[in-house]
Chains A and B, each alone.
Chain A
Amino acid sequence: MESLTDASLKALSLLVSGDAELWAIISISFGVSFQAILYTTPPALLTAYALAHFEFPGRRTLVSLFHTLLAVPAVVVGLTLYLLLSRSGPFGDLKLLFTQTAMVLGQMVLSFPILVAMGHSALQSADQRVWETAYTLGAPPLRAMFTVMHEVRYGLFAAVIAAFGRIIAEVGCSMMVGGNILNYTRNITTAIALETSKGQFAQGIALGIVLLVLALVLNYSLSTLRHRLAMQA
């Protein structure tokens, strides 16, 4: 087993030398998570808006449900999706298991409650006068909704960033429904798990550095947005 110093130096050299395998893993990771966030954000924010803006029976229960779903472990989502997509499952014919599409689906399921719960909090804190002002100046309901969303945009960006941070760092769901296939479904977290189990730490550390840098960037963005939110209030 190589020493931590050797492994770390090798990791840095892999990163700066543009190692093809390493950067393929990073690009798969970002590609899958970006797609998941892109497809989930519109329906999740619409749901959050409906929960914040309309009164209907069962609204509070739904809000509680989404808050509860925040704590669902990624492996449980992975297991459920695995059962649904496996050959004997109801969606087996679609042959989606061990594909990037399955990973995107899994990450969509994971990010949806985060976006709804955080989006709902942001939209609920919006001043009632925003919607009323938009409406009275002639905005149709959809445009009034976008105006409200624009006014609480920092809170909504924070929700998107938090959801992205959660899905790009999850391992359980991607491992189960992606299958960790090199150059296809191997992403940062599943690669770290695999390399560590093989005792090959250099690539794991390099990928870990990428995740840490990402976590730093996301946290910095979140704190900047929170600062702007506080200024807005």
Chain B
Amino acid sequence: MKTPLFHFRHVTKRFGDRVLLNIDEFVVNAGVCMLITGDNGAGKTTLLKIVSGLVKPDSAKVQVKDAVLSWSKARVKIQRNLVYLHQDPYMLDTTVERNIAYGLRLHKEPRAHLYDTVADALRWARLDHLAHRNARSLSGGEKQRVALTRARIVNPSVLALDEPTTNMDQQSRISTYQLIDALRNEGMAILVASHDQTGLTPIADHHTQLVGGKLVNVEPAFKRSRATKVTRFPG
């Protein structure tokens, strides 16, 4: 059975006279990957940022377990459980290793343990050869992998990805799909806003489309076993 982590209700956001979002219900379930598609300017990024606690909606209620909270109050709980990744992830002006360690430092991980954990994470993402490079000098695909690893290391329940494969070559795209699939297999809930339906539909459990500020289910999502998922992306 799916466990709802965050249940958003009556989410509205206006920009001037334009109602960008008017969503009755949006549920983030544990371990589920949801693909959100929509035209340019449909509000995918705004929705993801509202869900991630980064953009204040005009109205929204959030149910966390049994408590129904205002968005502002739920924000703290969201921050503890969800990591948002930008379309073009921001790399701090330091090494790849220190970028990945950033979240762990915030959680006051002991220094000795910290770099072992970071080294493991670098190996997991096959980034160990780039550990001491300045993260800003990396390619788009490498930056996305660093950002995914930097998010994974803080062990969130939910990962919100905004257009994770835009402007990537085929190889980088495949490697990003593999990482997203691996994160999903680790039990992380994943929200992906993307135009890239072909590559991401196989990973997604649900596909929903943002039309006129409302979410519309796109059925059926590609259903498959976890074993087949990994083999779809040879690398």
Contacts and interface: CB of A to CB of B under 8 A. Distances in A.
Contact of B154 (A137, A147, A232): A137
Interface in B4-45: none
A141 to B, nearest CB: 11
Interface string A117-134: 000000000010110111
A135 B83 CA distance: 9
A135 B54 contact: yes
B93 A151 contact: yes
Nearest to B136: A232
A138 interface: yes
Nearest to B78: A136
A136 B84 contact: yes
Nearest to B151: A137
A130 B90 contact: yes
Contacts of A133: 86, 89-90, 92
A123 to B, nearest CB: 15
Interface of A is mostly: helix
B103 A138 contact: yes
B86 A137 contact: no
B93 A135 contact: no
A135 to B, nearest CB: 7
Contact of A129 (B52, B86, B106): B86
B107 interface: yes
Contacts of B82: 136
B106 A137 contact: yes
Contacts of A151: 92-93
Contacts of A129: 86, 88-90
Interface residues of A, number: 17
B106 A132 contact: no
A133 B150 CA distance: 10
Contacts of B154: 137-138
Given A137-B102, A138-B106, A138-B107, A132 B92 contact: no
B80 A138 contact: yes
B167 interface: no
A52 interface: no
Interface string B45-80: 000010011100000000000000000000000011
A140 B88 CA distance: 23
A133 B85 CA distance: 8
B54 A132 contact: yes
Nearest to A127: B90
Nearest to A139: B106
A150 to B, nearest CB: 8
Interface string B84-119: 101011101100000000110011000000000000
A136 B79 CA distance: 6
A151 B93 CA distance: 7
Interface in B95-153: 102-103, 106-107, 150-151
A127 B93 CA distance: 12
Contacts of A95: none
**Which residue, A136, A139, A151, has most C-beta atoms of chain B within 10 A?**
A136
Contacts of B151: 137
Most buried by A among B80, B93, B150, B151: B93
A143 interface: yes
B23 to A, nearest CB: 21
8 contacts: A129-B86, A132-B86, A135-B53, A137-B106, A137-B154, A138-B79, A150-B93, A151-B92
Interface of A: 127, 129-130, 132-140, 143, 147, 150-151, 232
Given A137-B150, A151-B93, 11 more contacts: A127-B90, A132-B54, A132-B86, A132-B90, A135-B53, A135-B54, A135-B79, A137-B106, A138-B80, A150-B93, A232-B93
Q: Which 3 A-B pairs have the closest CB atoms?
A: A129-B90, A137-B103, A136-B84
